[in-house]
Amino acid sequence: MAEEYVTWFKAITMVSGLDYPTWIMFFKNGLAGNLWDKIYNSEIVPGNDTEKDFQEWCKKACILDYNWQMACAEWGGTVNNSGRVSRSTQEKPVAATKPKFSRDPNAMDVDQAKREGCCFGCGCYGCH
């Protein structure tokens, strides 16, 4: 998906006569939101000024999109145009379940005791 966007974008910008900072601005605005987020959350974010920066934006978008496509293929889903994953109904991996937090009924509620001004030792008010 990103490769098609990069190819299309480069074809348009070559005849536009715009400078690189403008190209980069338009390129970023056209990226899918999740891809834009991944690039900005990566360790090294490309610059916004030169042809090298523009090439880095294109390269990073393609690499991250490719990695996402491979992860989805391994996970058993496909990616639609919005970047969301749709899962096949045949093979679903078993999701790990979180253990439910259960409160110990015999535990002392320290926060409530602090709010009420109780002493932790004797339970009286005002002696702490």
Query: CA-to-CA distance for 74 and 1, rounded, in angstroms?
Result: 18
- Looking at residue 70, its pLDDT comes to 87
- The model's pTM: 0.57
Q: Please list the pLDDT of the chain residue by residue as tens digits (128 residues).
A: 789 989 998 888 888 888 989 989 999 998 887 888 889 888 889 998 999 999 999 999 999 999 888 888 887 766 554 555 555 544 555 555 655 666 666 666 666 666 666 665 666 666 65
- Looking at residue 77, its pLDDT comes to 62
- Looking at residue 107, its pLDDT comes to 63
Angle at 37 between CA 67 and CA 10, to 5 degrees: 70
- Among 35, 102, 25, 19, smallest CA distance to 68 is for 35
Strand residue runs (E) in the chain: 77-79, 85-87
